[in-house]
């Protein structure tokens, strides 16, 4: 027997697919949405569609942006000889908020995770090497998180870059182990960047 109308069941079903949302939370959210004023519900739906339709990967650094090339890669003020490798766009934003980094980024959009079958070809490592071959780069700063996956990814990238003679550095530990970069305060992030060490 179907307890909810099809529309409500569909909405709950969609919400259940979101990370961290179990069936109870999905029901709570669905009823919250159904009780919203209609224009607010419309605007929520519209921003999901807008974001999904218009946000894409920057052709150079693979951050999420609404342009072909993101404003950081386009800026003449940024030092293209310094590339900071981060896990995702949220990490890039965390460093941008600190406001002291003048280089550019490379966004992996994930980390290697053998347990989940995510290998080097599933994140943007190949694209990083293509950049290093095309552009004159002096330093690659590896700023993946200090989780097991982040460290393994950092080691993998370091091994690949080292023979090319490009300087590879790793942000200082001091960033709490297992802490997502985006959750760390700006002072800690700046310290991690300034205390980076050559690998
Ligand atoms: Zn970019």
Spatial CB neighbours of 18, under 8 Å, sequence gap ≥ 6? 26
3-state secondary structure of 188: helix
Q: Which residues pair with 24 in a beta bridge?
A: none
Spatial CB neighbours of 9, under 8 Å, sequence gap ≥ 6? 2
CA of 150 to the centre of ligand 1 (A): 21
Which H helix or E strand runs over 40?
helix 38-54
Does this model's pTM top 0.75? My answer is yes
CA of 85 to the centre of ligand 1 (A): 12
Q: How far is CA 147 from the centre of its chain?
A: 15
3-state secondary structure of 16: helix
Q: Please, are residues 81 and 103 in contact by the beta-carbon 8 Å criterion?
A: yes
CA of 71 to the centre of ligand 1 (A): 7
Give the whole-angstrom CA distance, residue 51 versus residue 113.
27
CA of 180 to the centre of ligand 1 (A): 21
Q: Is a pLDDT exceeding 60 seen at residue 141?
A: yes
Is the dihedral angle over the CA atoms 107, 108, 110, 113 positive or is it negative? negative
Q: Please, are residues 117 and 146 in contact by the beta-carbon 8 Å criterion?
A: no
| 94-137 pLDDT tens trace | 899 888 899 999 999 999 998 888 988 999 999 999 999 999 99
- pLDDT value, residue 182: 64
CA of 68 to the centre of ligand 1 (A): 8
| 152-189 pLDDT tens trace | 999 999 999 999 999 999 988 755 544 566 667 777 88
Spatial CB neighbours of 104, under 8 Å, sequence gap ≥ 6? 60, 61, 72, 73, 78, 79, 80, 82, 83, 84
- pLDDT value, residue 177: 46
- Helix and strand counts by DSSP (H, E) for the chain: 8, 7
Q: How far is CA 46 from the centre of its chain?
A: 23
- pLDDT value, residue 146: 84
- pLDDT value, residue 187: 77
CA of 19 to the centre of ligand 1 (A): 27
CA of 25 to the centre of ligand 1 (A): 36
| 36-90 pLDDT tens trace | 999 999 999 999 999 999 999 999 999 999 999 999 999 999 999 999 999 999 9
CA of 109 to the centre of ligand 1 (A): 13
Give the whole-angstrom CA distance, residue 100 versus residue 184.
16
């Amino acid at each position: 027997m179907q307890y909810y109308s099809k529309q409500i069941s569909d909405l709950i079903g969609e919400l259940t697919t979101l990370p961290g949302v179990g069936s109870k939370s999905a029901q709570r959210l669905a009823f919250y949405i159904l009780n919203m004023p209609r224009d607010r519900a419309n605007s929520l739906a519209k921003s999901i569609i807008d974001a999904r339709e218009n946000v894409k990967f920057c052709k150079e650094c693979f951050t999420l942006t609404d342009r072909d090339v993101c404003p950081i890669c386009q800026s003449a003020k940024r030092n293209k000889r310094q590339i900071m490798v981060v896990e995702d766009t949220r990490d890039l934003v965390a460093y941008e908020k600190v406001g002291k980094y003048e280089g550019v980024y490379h966004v992996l959009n994930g980390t290697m995770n053998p347990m989940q079958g995510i290998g080097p070809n599933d994140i943007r490592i190949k694209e990083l090497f293509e950049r290093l071959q095309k552009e004159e780069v002096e330093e690659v700063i590896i700023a993946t998180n200090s989780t097991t996956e982040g460290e393994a990814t950092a080691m993998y990238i370091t091994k690949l870059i080292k023979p090319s003679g490009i300087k590879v550095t790793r942000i200082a530990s001091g960033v709490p182990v297992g802490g997502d970069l985006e959750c760390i305060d700006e002072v800690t992030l700046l310290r991690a960047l300034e205390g980076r060490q050559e690998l």
